[in-house]
Amino acid sequence: MVSPKQDIRIGFYVCHCGHNIASMVDCPAVAEYVGQLPGVVLSRDYKYMCSDPGQELIQKDIAEFDLNRVVVASCSPLLHEHTFRNAVAAGGLNPFLFHMVNIREHDSWVHTDRQEATAKAKGLARAAIVRVAHAKSLPVKKVPIHPDVLVVGGGIAGIHAALTLANAGKKVFLVEREPSIGGHMARFDKTFPTLDCAACILTPKMSEVGAHPNITLWSYSDVVKMDGYVGNYTVTVRRQPRYINEELCTGCQECIGNCIYKEPKFPDEFNEGLGKRKPVYISFPQATPQVVLIDPEVCLNFRHGVLTDKCKKTCVEACGDRKAIDFTQKVETREIKVGTIIVATGFKPFDVKRIPQYGYGSYPNVYTALEVERLVNASGPTSGDVILRDGRHPQAIAIIHCVGSRDKKTNRWCSRVCCMYSMKLAHLLKEHTGAEIYNFYIDIRAPGKGYEEFYDKLNEEGVHFIRGRVGEVTDWAMTPEEEGKLVIRVEDTLAGFVRRIPVDMVVLATGLEPQADSQDVRRLFNMSCGTEGFFLERHPKLAPVNTFTDGIFIAGCCQGPRDIPDTVAQAGAAAAEAMVLIDKGYIEQEPNTAYIQPDCSGCKSCIPLCPYTAIAFDATTQKAVINEALCKGCGTCVAACPSGSIGQNLFEDDEIFSEIDGLLTN
Amino acid sequence: MTKPPAASLGLVAHKAGSKPGRPTVGGRNGSDFKIARTIKYESDRVVSFGRDVMSVPGCEQLESCIQRGTCSGVCPLSIYMDYTPRQVMALTRADFKNEVLRSHTIWLCASCYACTVECPQQIRITDIMYELKQRAILERIYPRHFPIPVLAREFNAMVRKHGRITEMVLVIRLFLKTDWLAALGNWRLGLDLMRTGRFSLITERIKNHGDIARMLDAVDHPKES
């Protein structure tokens, strides 16, 4: 170990990053300036420090010039600190004798004056040079990883990630909020562009999840708390009462047939309220787990959700010896330990009532796309017969694209799937009804395998495509043929005039937006969000399933709108990333832990402040003790200690103060 | 709308009748500004017109048009057109028969086939233009004094009657039915043609010229039935 301030030999490198840095910062000037600073033995500028030759340069120089500190001024440490630490270690130095200066994100990319930017780069480099002299050799901290995985969300993303991990022999907990897994995909009729039936391709995977020995499936449950750190998370899951014992229920559904309500009476959530269900129900025929549940809000044995026991309980009679019905069930909480977590909480369809001019809610024959998915589905409320809310069969149908997408008043982003699912619905509606179908679009976005061909096919089927954003849907007739119809008022921008088109049915192609509680989920798992509210990936191109919290991965539409193939690919990627950690068996952590110095007065003020309960009090020495395995290096105790008796590796006082000095002196 | 230079078209388009429902070019100066309804109602469509056109051999590919506008981009005459070729395709598909058949575009088409060659969807746009022209003549809703449909009709009528054409007579009939004053401007050209023997003053005809009419009728017959 090199003792500080004694024979410091610093090597400094400034990276051009192609033009990213060099266009705004005079890199040779920075290198020349730093070369004159005390302790600097060597100062170079180089086009790409992160390249193999760049890294080899560092290694060669360490040997040749006997360097014992290295500073690289380049991009964000988030991108390449790891690269350079490895290069320094390969050169025979302790990796923590390296310091990185960000002159790209913090300098060249955000400034427009080359002279000022160069001066700033010099200042930042100077601060790092004086700081790095105080750097200490530190050991890399290794922490074992718990091999179990938690997957949050049982849509196609969660299902695929859970199955991938389980098939690799990992134990998986799959937590789903709804009574059944399947998510939005389970409600779709067909999938574009191949038109294979969504249920046919999804339900085998669902039952595989239900039967897999490595998967613990908790439906009707949600995660309420997460503690710990990568490799060692403690998660609290809340299980809602189904009033059915999952172990005893066989899924025979005799209770449903024998319910005191002879006819289904309550809006069926799975069918978007278009169908009816009883108080005791199963979401859909292929629901997984095949377990019924009782809705205490409408069951006669409850009153406003509180058990009254006043019903004749014909369901219990029907259940008989199976004794699966248990009206006394309460909310249960379970605590589990996992090493990694995959968040796949999906999306929420845009609320079409936010665009009142399209008439949803006022005109009964205006539908959302998801409603139409159920309407054309053979197991839907009408068994696939497209009957409008007023009982008619439609002769002409309008499909309005971009409802709640590409609109600064609602959601700015393109929801990516609406063009394709609108065309799929156009095809299905034409097939089911033979009606004239009009698509109103801004642009047709069909960027996928077989997607453009599908668009072509729709054109050849005689579906009308009218380019223009619909102004309004109205029932106010201006001509006789518009009487009794819904009229679409739109500029046909390709023909060059405004048109009024009477139709019987309007389908709103709703966009995708973050789940209503996405902010809570974000906080729960310590993730970040973009401005639109979708969970933020660590890097948009190179780390698309990682988050800024190690060991937490994202997959599917919770990260941004995407179609099923992309979701499945991403879920597979998230599973693979989790396995990278699990199979390695341990993780290397930053040795940024706090430590108690001998002059601790034992005042105990740090103990309640530690968010990770890493500090305990040693009664024999009358001093605080930090459990290094639990310390996350947040620095709260360091700042709070009244006697300044807590130090922190990588953030020593002399390191920080010398850096500030370096920045302020000229 | 670009006003065509008179010289390039010989017999000018400005007499060809203004398009219905649109303020005329002169409107810019406020001289004959007219306000007319431009919105299209469902009753402005002639349902199945598009389907009919697309059922004609050679025109089927129109159904796969996604309105890229390549045709308008390559068309050397689109700069003079009221509707661009792309718009004509859109209007045809959307059953706006009257707009299409009254447009100048179909008559300005010079059959250079650039659009057909370039169309990424392999739509035979020139052939569709011919189909539309034929329908316009049959329906008698082409622009009345526009020289190109008049020429087509006169040419056809003369061939039907005599078996061949007599340029002199054809040109005179064309001038009379479109813009007879324009003939005066071309007197020198006519004189030169006559001097070199390119203009015959005698009506030319073939033997058994009635057979031509019978043959043409036989060709047309299946279409009329």
Q: Where in chain B is CATH 1.10.1060?
A: 18-139
- The whole-number pLDDT of residue B223 equals 52
Residues A561 and A413: beta-carbon distance below 8 Å? yes
Phi/psi for A384 (5° steps) reads: 90, -5
Asked if omega into A193 is within 30° of 0 (cis), the reply is yes
Residues A239 and A331: beta-carbon distance below 8 Å? yes
**What mean pLDDT is predicted for residues A621-626?**
93
- The whole-number pLDDT of residue A21 equals 96
Residues A573 and A544: beta-carbon distance below 8 Å? yes
Flag whether pLDDT at A8 surpasses 70. Answer: yes
**Architecture of the CATH domain A594-648:** 2-Layer Sandwich (3.30)
Flag whether pLDDT at A564 surpasses 90. Answer: yes
Closest CA to A501 of B44, B88, B62, B48: B44
**What mean pLDDT is predicted for residues A61-82?**
94
Mutate to test the interface with B, among A463, A483, A499 (most CBs of B within 10 A): A499
Residues from chain A that touch B64, judged by Cβ atoms under 8 A, are 456, 459-460
Residues A160 and A571: beta-carbon distance below 8 Å? yes
To the nearest whole percent, how much of chain A has pLDDT over 90?
A: 92
**What mean pLDDT is predicted for residues A559-578?**
97
- The whole-number pLDDT of residue A210 equals 95
- The whole-number pLDDT of residue B105 equals 93
Burial of A304 (0-12, 13-18, 19+ CB in 10 A): exposed
Flag whether pLDDT at A575 surpasses 70. Answer: yes
Burial of B76 (0-12, 13-18, 19+ CB in 10 A): exposed
Distance CA A145, CA A340 (A): 8
Flag whether pLDDT at A342 surpasses 60. Answer: yes
Residue with tokens 């998370």: A233
- The whole-number pLDDT of residue A611 equals 85
Q: Output A299-302 pairs: Cβ under 8 A, ≥24 positions apart.
A: A299/A243, A300/A260, A300/A261, A301/A327, A302/A327
Distance CA A506, CA A362 (A): 12
Mutate to test the interface with B, among A494, A500, A501, A503 (most CBs of B within 10 A): A494
Answer whether A454 touches B (CB < 8 Å): no
With vertex at residue A186, the alpha carbon angle to CA A182 and CA A189, rounded to the nearest 5 degrees, is: 170
**Beta-strand (E) ranges in A352-504?**
366-368, 396-403, 436-441, 464-467, 472-474, 486-492, 497-503
Q: Do A495 and B51 touch (CB under 8 A)?
A: no
Give pLDDT tens digits for A473-494.
999 999 999 999 999 999 999 9
Distance CA B169, CA B167 (A): 6
Q: Do A500 and B87 touch (CB under 8 A)?
A: no
Closest CA to A363 of A485, A481, A464: A485
Asked if omega into A289 is within 30° of 0 (cis), the reply is yes
How large is the ipTM?
0.71
Strand partners of residue A367: A507
Give pLDDT tens digits for A502-545.
999 999 999 999 999 999 999 999 999 999 999 999 989 989 99
Any idea which of A2-6, A140-144, A589-593 has the lowest mean pLDDT?
A2-6
DSSP assignment of A100-119: EEE-IIIIITT---HHHHHH
- The whole-number pLDDT of residue B2 equals 41
**What mean pLDDT is predicted for residues A581-609?**
92
Residues from chain B that touch A444, judged by Cβ atoms under 8 A, are 66
Residues A110 and A120: beta-carbon distance below 8 Å? no
Residues from chain A that touch B38, judged by Cβ atoms under 8 A, are 497-498
DSSP assignment of A642-658: TT--EEETTS-HHHHHH
Q: Do B90 and A465 touch (CB under 8 A)?
A: no
Flag whether pLDDT at A638 surpasses 60. Answer: yes
Within chain B, residue ranges assigned H as helices are 6-9, 49-54, 70-74, 85-93, 97-101, 105-108, 114-118, 125-139, 147-162, 167-177, 180-185, 187-195, 209-224
Which CATH code is given to the segment(s) A10-138? 3.40.50
Q: Do B43 and A459 touch (CB under 8 A)?
A: no
Name which of A455, A456, A478 is nearest B41 (Cβ-Cβ). A478
Q: pLDDT band at A55, cuts 50/70/90?
A: very high
Residues from chain A that touch B67, judged by Cβ atoms under 8 A, are 465, 467, 494
Flag whether pLDDT at B26 surpasses 60. Answer: no
**What mean pLDDT is predicted for residues A436-443?**
96
Burial of A518 (0-12, 13-18, 19+ CB in 10 A): buried
Give pLDDT tens digits for A282-302.
999 999 999 999 999 999 999
Q: pLDDT band at B215, cuts 50/70/90?
A: confident
CA B1 vs. chain centroid, Å, equals 18
Give pLDDT tens digits for A181-193.
999 999 999 999 9
How many C-alpha atoms does A369 have within 13 Å on its Cβ side?
Answer: 30
**What mean pLDDT is predicted for residues A311-339?**
94
Flag whether pLDDT at B3 surpasses 50. Answer: no
Q: What 8-state DSSP symbol labels residue A229?
A: E
Residues from chain B that touch A500, judged by Cβ atoms under 8 A, are 39-42
The CATH superfamily assigned to A348-513 is FAD/NAD(P)-binding domain (3.50.50.60)
Flag whether pLDDT at B225 surpasses 90. Answer: no
Q: Do A444 and B83 touch (CB under 8 A)?
A: no
DSSP assignment of A237-300: EEE---SB-TTT--S--HHHHT-S-SS--EE-GGGTTSSEE-SEE-SSTT-SS---EE-TTT-T
| Distance (Å) from the alpha carbon of A363 to chain B's nearest alpha carbon | 21
Give pLDDT tens digits for B140-171.
888 777 888 888 889 989 998 898 888 888 88
Residues B145 and B178: beta-carbon distance below 8 Å? yes
- CB–CB contacts below 8 A, A to B: 59
Q: Do B42 and A444 touch (CB under 8 A)?
A: no
Please tell me the pTM assigned to this model.
Answer: 0.81
**Domain range annotation of chain A:** 10-138, 254-322, 348-513, 594-648
Residues from chain B that touch A492, judged by Cβ atoms under 8 A, are 40, 90, 94
Flag whether pLDDT at B25 surpasses 90. Answer: no
Q: pLDDT band at B31, cuts 50/70/90?
A: low
| Distance (Å) from the alpha carbon of B206 to chain A's nearest alpha carbon | 47
Mean pLDDT over the full length of chain A: 94
Phi/psi for A70 (5° steps) reads: -135, 135
**What mean pLDDT is predicted for residues A406-432?**
95
Distance CA B214, CA B217 (A): 5
Instruction: Give the chain A residue nearest B47 (alpha carbons).
Output: A436
Residues A268 and A285: beta-carbon distance below 8 Å? no
Q: What phi-psi label fits residue B211: left (phi over 0), alpha (psi between -120 and 50 degrees) or beta? A: alpha
**What mean pLDDT is predicted for residues A121-136?**
95
Flag whether pLDDT at B189 surpasses 90. Answer: no
3-state secondary structure of A137: coil
Flag whether pLDDT at B19 surpasses 50. Answer: no
- The whole-number pLDDT of residue A29 equals 96
Pick the CATH number of B18-139 from 1.10.150, 1.10.287, 1.10.1060, 1.10.12: 1.10.1060
Distance CA A318, CA A325 (A): 10
**What mean pLDDT is predicted for residues A640-661?**
94
- The whole-number pLDDT of residue A6 equals 61
Give pLDDT tens digits for A189-225.
999 999 999 999 999 999 999 999 999 999 999 999 9
- The whole-number pLDDT of residue B1 equals 39
3-state secondary structure of B136: helix
Residues from chain B that touch A499, judged by Cβ atoms under 8 A, are 39-41
**What mean pLDDT is predicted for residues A555-576?**
97
| Distance (Å) from the alpha carbon of B37 to chain A's nearest alpha carbon | 10
